[in-house]
Structure 1
Amino acid sequence: MPDLFQIDAGEKLHISVVERLHEQLELALSNHQSVELDVSKVAQTDTASLQLLYAFKVASEKAGLRLVLLNPTESVSSSVKLLGLNSLLGSTD
């Protein structure tokens, strides 16, 4: 099993996909895999999805794993910054 779990977020990161995304993230964590989440096509984001990603980032770091958001769109970047979750993008400012 590879050490990296790759997920394509598609065009929406919001409540309608949170359950499916949660299942994928839990699978990666239970298999002790870091996650690369491709967010290059995301046009819509909401608080629920970003809270899930933040919670996963915290849990994965405790397990010695990581979450990387690949090629974040402006929608993702601005939502992350608005909510003060900059660490999701690998920055602290």
Structure 2
Amino acid sequence: MTRPSGGVVALYLAWRRQHSTEADLDNRERALAQQYEVLAHQQAVAATTQAHQDRVADDAHADATGTRSGHRDGGISAGIRKTSDSDGSNLRFCRPGSWEPPTY
């Protein structure tokens, strides 16, 4: 059997080094693509969350100022208070779950 010449060994080592470098670059590209996907998802979630928070804040403001309920004198609770005052009941308006018996 003959010994491999130095040129064959050098070619093999060069091929192995190039193959290893290309595999490393492929892994880096995949990792970078995944990071971009994660970033895009985070931005989409942040935009959706911000839009939801804006809607909640607008609704809370509208409830506080009475512009959403359609009543001229106040928010949603003012309309309930107005109804409970006009029905002849001696019960005062209270929040659900905090009922107290009427005082006579």
TM-score interval for Structure 1 and Structure 2 normalised by the shorter chain: under 0.3
Structure with the higher helix share, 1 or 2: 2
With a CA cutoff of 8 Å and minimum separation of 6, indicate the structure with the bigger relative contact order.
1
TM-score (norm 2): 0.20
Structure with the higher strand share, 1 or 2: 1
TM-score (norm 1): 0.22
